[in-house]
Amino acid sequence: VQPLLECLRECNITIRWLLLHRNCRDKKLRDIVEANHTTEDILDLLLSTSKFEKELKELFTDLVASKNTVWTKDKNECVYFMEEIAEYFAGNRNMGKQYVDQNYSAWFKQIGERISNLNYKHSTVTGRTIKSIIQALDDIEIYEPVETNVQIKHFIQETKKYLL
């Protein structure tokens, strides 16, 4: 996105520079600009830039319109993963070797609730909370019951991916 915005900015700067220097007092500079850039070239650049700007605006409009849907879908996926891991540690899911630990189960349920309570409208608080959740998930991965189960590690990695 950033390169597209920079390109648009450069196009607008170029158009402005060309238009201003076609009417400058210095005859040599004006002649150089007019010799290398015809009115049709400048008009073509102006039209191409406006078309590019319109398409970029539509892209951002669509992105903003779908933001809530994507946010809700990703958040629900994260909550699902945390619930699955919590169920595994509660002894209700079979993901290979069974390992029952109510403390792990409660911890993953709590993380799932924290994710469920995230609200994208409060972006600053949500950003900090997401950062702390990701850090907590990084920290829990070093413990043996989590580290040795590939499916749990996969669920944690997917959760972190969706949170970002």
What does the alpha-carbon distance between residue 17 and residue 35 come to, in Å, rounded to a whole number?
15
What are the 10-residue block averages of pLDDT along the chain, 164 residues in total? 93 91 84 86 94 95 87 93 93 80 93 91 88 93 87 93 90
Tell me the pTM. 0.65
Whether 75 and 139 map to the same domain: the answer is: yes
Q: In the numeric block, which tokens belong to residue 146? A: 């989590």
- Containing domain of residue 86, as a range? 68-163
Q: Whose structure tokens read 């409660």?
A: 106
Say what the pLDDT of residue 23 is.
Answer: 82
Q: Whose structure tokens read 């990703």?
A: 74
What is the number of domains present in the chain?
A: 2
Whether 153 and 85 map to the same domain: the answer is: yes
Contact present, 30 and 23 (Cβ < 8 Å): yes
Q: Kindly list the distances between the CA atom of residue 81 and the CA atoms of 28, 65, 68, in Å, as whole numbers in the listed order.
A: 69, 26, 20
Helix axes of 2-21 and 27-36: crossing angle, nearest 10 degrees: 130
DSSP 143-154: SHHHHT-HHHHH
Whether 26 and 104 map to the same domain: the answer is: no
